[in-house]
Structure 1
Amino acid sequence: MNKQKRVLILCTGNSARSQMAEGLLRRDGGDVFEVFSAGTHPGSVRAEAIEAMREVGIDISGHRSKSVDEFAGREFDYMITVCDNARENCPVFPGVTRRIHWSFDDPAAALGDKATRLAEFRRVRDLIHKRLMTFISADDFHTSL
């Protein structure tokens, strides 16, 4: 049996982008990846993120926001930052083999009524999913396992 690749996904609050990315990568790449998420300044998981993920069959209602400090000293094959702030403020992880940065808009910053805000969470969810599908299908995962 091949060893799973360990992935840590970071954003500022660990409340939306990184939570959605964790849920999507667990579903779509779970046999290849062991997935964790954290934030540089964790808050709480956004209700809109939970709802947007539920719409695609993923339940993140039991997730909690975690501090990046909880993962200090652990080794990861990949650390993916999904916002510019996390990339700039991320502590050094000597046990990370490869760092990847993807800049996604913060859906929590969306203004307007509930439907407008939820539409932004869906949009960002779908962008994250598209990027993750490319990540999952990358040749180096399959040749290095």
Structure 2
Amino acid sequence: MTKKNVLFLCTGNSCRSQMAEGWARHFHGDKIESYSAGIEAHGINPNAMQVMKEAGVDISGQSSKLASSLTDVPLDLVVTVCGHADENCPAFLTKAKLVHVGFDDPPKLAKEAASEDQAMDQYRRVRDEIRSFVIDRLPKLLN
């Protein structure tokens, strides 16, 4: 069986797309080759790494990269996880099936939190929403 190539795209490839790549590898690694990239590359958010590790998924080996670094990968599906990436998706990526599934931006929400615990709870909430998407909806999008 040939694995499907799935790209999770966001603006900076630091948080949401990294979590989605990690979850897809964790739950569907036998069927999906998962990638994440950004319109820009901001480095992996340490809070995203922490909350994923809490859930049993280590994304510390992943790297923040530009979408243009994947021009040679024959993508089957591109999932934009933020509005900016959806609106600015590079043209070469539109050859694949393109789906937008927006998630809140944890770093932005964390800035408004009253405490460090509340800030981390924003990361955990979005992590869990992405997990649900990857488990429930992602396989259906590949059929």
Normalised by the length of structure 1, the TM-score is 0.89
Mapping 1:20-99, distance limit 5 Å? 20-93=19-92, 96-99=95-98
Offset from partner CA, 1:9-61 (integer Å, 9 cap, x none) = 10011000000000000000111100110010110111110011001111111
Normalised by the length of structure 2, the TM-score is 0.91
1:132 Cα offset (Å) = 1.2
Give the aligned partner of residue 121 of structure 1.
123
Report % sequence identity: 39
SS in structure 1 opposite 2:13?
coil
- Structural RMSD (CA): 1.6
Question: Runs of at least 4 residues of structure 1 off by over 4 A?
Answer: none
Instruction: Check the 8 A contact 2:80/2:101 in 1, yes or no.
Output: yes
Q: Matches of 1:85 and 1:108 in 2, distance apart? A: 15
1:74 Cα offset (Å) = 2.8
Give the aligned partner of residue 133 of structure 2.
131
Instruction: Check the 8 A contact 1:11/1:40 in 2, yes or no.
Output: yes
1:133 Cα offset (Å) = 1.2
Amino acid in the other structure paired with 1:133 = I
- CA spacing shift, 1:139–1:18, aligned 2, 3 Å: closer
Alignment length (residue pairs): 140
Structure 1 unmatched runs, 5+: none
Q: Matches of 2:12 and 2:29 in 1, distance apart? A: 24
Amino acid in the other structure paired with 1:70 = S
SS in structure 1 opposite 2:96?
strand
Instruction: Check the 8 A contact 1:29/1:136 in 2, yes or no.
Output: no
Instruction: Check the 8 A contact 1:7/1:33 in 2, yes or no.
Output: yes
